[in-house]
Amino acid sequence: MKKVLVTGGTGYIGSHTIIELYKKGYEIDVLDNLFNSKETVLDKIEEIAGKRPNFYEIDLTDFDKVEELLAKNQYDLVIHFAGLKAVGESVEKPLEYYENNVSGTINLLRCMQKHGVKKIIFSSSATVYGDPGDPKYTETMETGRNLANPYGRTKYMIEEILKDCVVADKDFEVVLLRYFNPIGNHSSGLIGEDPNGIPNNLMPIIMKVARGEIEELSVFGDDYPTPDGTCLRDYIHVVDLAKGHVAVIDKMEPGVLIYNLGSGKATSVLEMIKAFEAASGQRLPYKVAARREGDLAEFYADPSKAERELGWKTKLTIEDAMRDTLKFLEQN
Ligand code: NAD
Ligand code: UFG
């Protein structure tokens, strides 16, 4: 196995995964429409890894362009990160989310089918579990019920589409990776999460508060049934997450493999604030605000399947993530 097409490769998780793929000698092409990333990320990848992926500025919803790319290149594997991911925006613009994420993926799959590309790793999310009752999510739990927003439904729908493709083609190899909450960045501080527009997620907002671009962090609710009243999440260092993708490649086989990628530990919003303050030595201004609609009090991964079958588990801590985030803030 040699040549990998990474969709969404200039994005946050994609760029970190490319660094890990280069360590294992893969050849990489990137497809991205640069909607939520910049082409300069490729310079940073080259600085870190000493290699530069071929870049194709293509939108997955443009079937002809995707087709042309797959006709010209014989890929062994596609790692599919490209997608829109802002939960709140997906509620306001559901059709854009379904078109971009679901139709974009269907285009990609049609082109893969046409050109004999039989392996795909898909960026799914813990959000597909909905609200199963038990906060410790295992891969065998039911998915697709009580999904809180269109974004989550696109992830669920794509998972189901991929499962159907495996039924139709016995040689097709699919991996669904369900990410928990990725944070941090490469220790060089050269690449990291740098979303265009107003961020929704906790870490990018903490970064904006630290830079003084947002006055204070709003903690969404402190009256949850958790030890300090704020929500608990499973934060995973993006470099550990990236390594999870590499770990699964050699395990791929016809059929569907599903893995949670998380640390198995739950951390509260207040603990995240304290960890940032400890790493930076600066106070992070925050206020307690109303609960955010759709938030669950607590969820975290049961990551034992990935450890058992892939020999993968998280090694980096929240402290590592905070240190690396500060490095990224310094450099950018
Ligand atoms: P990101 O926005 O940094 O990266 C996604 C990339 O896809 C961007 O560079 C964007 O320009 C590109 N893209 C979007 N639509 C495209 C299209 N139609 N054609 C071509 N390129 C397109 O996001 P990320 O955090 O790196 O997330 C990567 C994947 O992981 C996404 O599918 C996301 O839904 C999923 N995921 C992310 C998280 C998270 O919290 N970051 C959690 C669970 C799952
Ligand atoms: N939070 C705040 N203030 C903020 C932002 C977030 O208190 O300004 C809190 C939230 O209420 C939540 C926690 O910080 O308790 C984490 O929130 P994020 O928005 O960073 O992450 P979520 O757990 O809500 O969701 C994320 C992704 C989803 C994905 C899910 C599981 O946004 O797409 O992780 O992978 F499905």
pLDDT, tens digit (0-9, with 9 covering 90-100), for 171-219: 999 999 999 999 999 999 999 997 667 788 999 999 999 999 999 999 9
Distances (CA, A) of 218 to 147, 193, 267: 24, 20, 17
Question: Does position 331 have pLDDT exceeding 80, yes or no?
Answer: yes
123 lines ligand 1 (CB under 6 A): yes
**Counts of helices then strands in the chain (DSSP H, E):** 12, 15
Catalytic one of 56, 137, 151, 235: 151
30 lines ligand 1 (CB under 6 A): no
Q: Region 98-113: what's the mean pLDDT?
A: 98
Buried-state track 190-229, b at ≥16 Cβ within 10 A, e below 16: bbbbbbeeebeebbbbbbbbbeeebeebbbbbbebebeeb
Count Cβ atoms below 10 Å from residue 40 Cβ, excluding itself: 10
**Among the listed residues 118, 128, 167, 170, the one whose alpha carbon sits nearest the alpha carbon of residue 151:** 128
60 lines ligand 1 (CB under 6 A): yes
Residues 287, 217: Cα–Cα separation, whole Å:
6
Q: Tell the residue nearest (CA) to atom 4 of ligand 1.
A: 11
Percent of the chain with pLDDT over 90: 96
SS3 238: helix
Q: Region 36-47: what's the mean pLDDT?
A: 97
Active site residue 75: no
pLDDT digits (tens, 9 = 90+) for 238-288: 999 999 999 999 999 999 999 999 999 999 999 999 999 999 999 999 999
Atom of ligand 1 nearest to the CA of 82: 7
249 lines ligand 2 (CB under 6 A): no
pTM check: above 0.75: yes
- Give the lowest-confidence range in 1-5, 9-13, 224-228, 255-259: 1-5
pLDDT of residue 198: 77
Helix H or strand E encompassing 206: helix 202-210
Check residue 60 and report its DSSP letter. Answer: T
Return the best residue to mutate from 292, 298, 318 for the ligand 2 pocket (most ligand atoms within 8 A of CB).
292
Count Cβ atoms below 10 Å from residue 296 Cβ, excluding itself: 18
